[in-house]
Amino acid sequence: METRTALVTGAAQGLGREFAVALGGHGYRVAGLDLLPQPETAARVPEYLELTGDVGDERVVEEAVERVAGRFGGLHVVVNNAGVYPAGPFEETTAEEWRRVMRINLEAPFLVARAALPYLKAAGWGRIVNIASAAVLTAPPTMVPYVASKMGLIGLTRSLAAALAPYGVTVNAIAPSMVRTATAERTVGGAGGFEAVRDRQAVRRTQEAGDLVSTLLYVVDEGSGFLTGQTLNVSGGSAYL
């Protein structure tokens, strides 16, 4: 297999960092796009391009993808990982907050996939992986905008898979449970969020970022070309309780 290039959004920390490191460890050249600097990620990936900017900004995304292709000669894998997940009563959700969640969780994957498509088509092979959430099935009442955005992302995954199949590009989603990351610790961890989710799972422990790596590598594998339009629920069985 030729050396392939992957772009991971939200790669500065948490799940995005683990994805970038895993792909780098499997021979990929990796680019990361995040609002934050990514020195720790870059230090762990042999060939890494750090891109700083807002993944919800159309111009930023287009320029970032152009830089990736220019630096590495192409693009093969896109991992739409960046996301936000504020929690609170629905009646206190402002229109501005709703739009922010939709812009990062749903519009940004659209922008990244659209910008990457010419390069994926040129390569004749590609993988788009969207990070959804098992929350679309458990439907926590305090995360209405988040659940709506991730359900939309699953719809985007299914429809885009059909649209891109003729070009040798697969599109799949991975739906984790609540993953222990710095952001999750800060936003919902102190309110007992991890415990509440864990107690609804068949696997009674908090999910770690490393629990998703093998699934990502399976989805992007050369031999996974017949897998497309799917949402892989990797949530410790939470959706079945």
Q: Which residues participate in catalysis according to the annotation?
A: 146
Spatial strand order of the sheet with 231-234 comes to 48-52, 29-34, 5-9, 77-80, 126-131, 169-176, 231-234
Q: By the 8 A CB rule, do 50 and 56 touch?
A: no
Quick one: how far is CA 94 from the chain centroid? 25
Residue 29, Cβ neighbours under 10 Å: how many?
23
Query: How far apart (Å, rounded) are the C-alpha atoms in residues 150 and 133?
Result: 6
